[in-house]
Structure 1
Amino acid sequence: MAERPTINGTEPRGFDFEKMLDQLDELQLHDGYKAEIIRGNIVVSPWSKAFYLDVMELVCEQLRPHLPEEHRISYGPFLYLFPGLGRAYGPDIHVAHRSASRNTSNHLDGEALSFVAELTSSSTRNDDLTDKVETYGKAGVPVYLLLDMQEEQATVFWMPSADGYEARCSAPFGEKLPIPAPFDCSLDTIEFKAP
């Protein structure tokens, strides 16, 4: 799957988040795909390109010394739930309180997140730029880092509110980007370009 149809921006009539979550859990995806709930739809997309792993590791290495107490940074296939907003996302990089993973579920609480980062691809870019910006902000995630791999630009969003994020800052790959509280550091994007 290289591309997928776009979603019209509204939840379908009779949308039931819990039922949709059960359906998502029953999916048997082929290796190389992940599934999320976006705007009332189960959306399946391919995993990232190989060089994205280097970018994800670089972000983790730079942020790890600045993590809030009792938080951990990771990347990989973990599904964070935002039931009040009808969303379930598997962010590319996530920082959450350690207590979020102290259960036997394969679903994690989105309220435990202090940071998320998404690396866009041709199949996920629209959702990363729109729905996820709005949802992460409304859910109160303090910092959302969007790495637009097609435009080679990094954007950080902060100051979450009921309307989304109230502040943002962008820089082209190759420059440093300030990452606000609770991290208060700079992210060097010099090595984020495609090989």
Structure 2
Amino acid sequence: MTVMAERASSQLSVDVFERIAEFAAREDETVGFEFIGGRIGVKKVTNGSHGEIAMWLVFHCKQARPDLTLNPTGQGLKVEAYRRGRAKPDAVLAPTGHFNGKGDWADPDGVLMAVEITSYDSDTHNRDRVEKPKAYAEAGIPVYLLIDRDALSILVHSDPDPEVGYRDIHVVKLGGKVTLPDPVGIELDTEELRDYVD
């Protein structure tokens, strides 16, 4: 579940946000914070099916591309124009060792794919289908993979443009085969994912 609070970006600096997020993480490990579009998002721990989907994807990405690691631990990324935003994707694909020593909020350079898995909360549409694709495209992340449990679909966003977002969005129903384009270059058979939608 995510709750978003409106804030003008001039009222809350990224430095202040990062201190708030760091303090909150020490006090309560069941939530994480994001700062996108001048809004603070509180992202609660997900359910078991959400985690199973993430781990399924980790396994298949590593099997297809051993040179890459799909990190499902909530690695924070600096996103949006001039890195004013902070996002915690459900998983991030990058070369093995890419995030070593990068801290809580890493620069997106070198990230090949950001992954989100929809949650069953009131903000999932705005967060996962509107704000995050825009932020990830602005940051130049080549592929954004959205596993949409509500629509029983996989959406592959590619060809990022900082002005308009992702130019190409390919939709496949759960159970079908999907190709994650270069630089990811992985094909997935999503039949098994149908078991993890609840």
Task: Give the counterpart letter for 2:69 in structure 1.
Answer: R
Q: 2:56 aligns with which of 55, 58, 62?
A: 58
Moved more, 83-92 or 178-187: 83-92
- Counterpart residue number, 2:170: 169
In the TM superposition, 1:66-145 aligns within 5 A as 66-67=64-65, 69=67, 71-82=68-79, 84-98=82-96, 100-103=98-101, 105-123=103-121, 124-125=123-124, 126-145=126-145
CA distance in 2, matches of 1:74, 1:140: 18
**RMSD over equivalenced CA pairs, Å:** 2.3
Structure 2 match to 1:156: 156
Equivalent residue letter for 1:79: G
Question: What is the CA deviation profile of residues 16-66 of structure 1, one whole-angstrom value per residue up to 9, with x for unaligned ones?
Answer: 222222222222453322211122232112111101222112212222244
Counterpart selection for 2:20 from 20, 23, 32: 23
Superposed CA deviations along residues 142-189 of structure 1, whole A, max 9, x for unmatched, are: 111001112211100011112211111001111111210012232221
Q: Which deviations, in whole Å up to 9, do the C-alpha atoms of 1:75-130 show, x marking residues without a partner?
A: 11321222714211111111123454232623222223111110011335121101
What is the one-letter code of the residue matched to 2:50? Y
Paired position in structure 1 for 2:30 = 32
Matched to 2:154, the amino acid is: A
CA separation in 2, counterparts of 1:35 and 1:57? 22
Counterpart Cα distance in 2 of 1:104 and 1:85: 15
> Structure 1 pair 61/74, CA: closer, same or farther in 2 (3 Å)?
same
For residue 145 of structure 2, what is the amino acid of its counterpart?
L
Count residues in correspondence.
191
Answer whether contact 1:147 1:153 (CA < 8 A) is retained. yes
Is the 8 Å Cα contact of residues 61 and 69 (structure 2) preserved in structure 1?
no
Could you tell me which runs of 5 or more consecutive residues in structure 1 were left unpaired when the two chains were aligned. none
- C-alpha distance in 2 between matches for 1:114 and 1:41: 25
Quote the sequence identity (%): 19
15-24 or 134-143: which moved more? 15-24
Is the CA contact (8 Å cut-off) linking 1:178 and 1:184 kept in structure 2?
yes
Contact residue 63 and residue 183 of structure 1 kept, 8 A = no
Determine the structure 1 residue equivalent to 2:183.
Answer: 182
- For residue 141 of structure 2, give the secondary structure of its aligned residue in structure 1: coil
- Which ranges of structure 2 fall in alignment gaps of 5 or more residues? none
Q: Which amino acid aligns with 1:119?
A: I
Cα distance in 1, alignment partners of residues 3 and 12 from structure 2: 21
Structure 1 range deviating more: 93-102 or 172-181: 93-102
C-alpha distance 11-85 of structure 1, shift in aligned 2 (>3 A) = farther
Q: Distance in 2 between matches of 1:175 and 1:85?
A: 36
Question: 1:81 touches 1:88 (CA, 8 Å); kept in 2?
Answer: yes
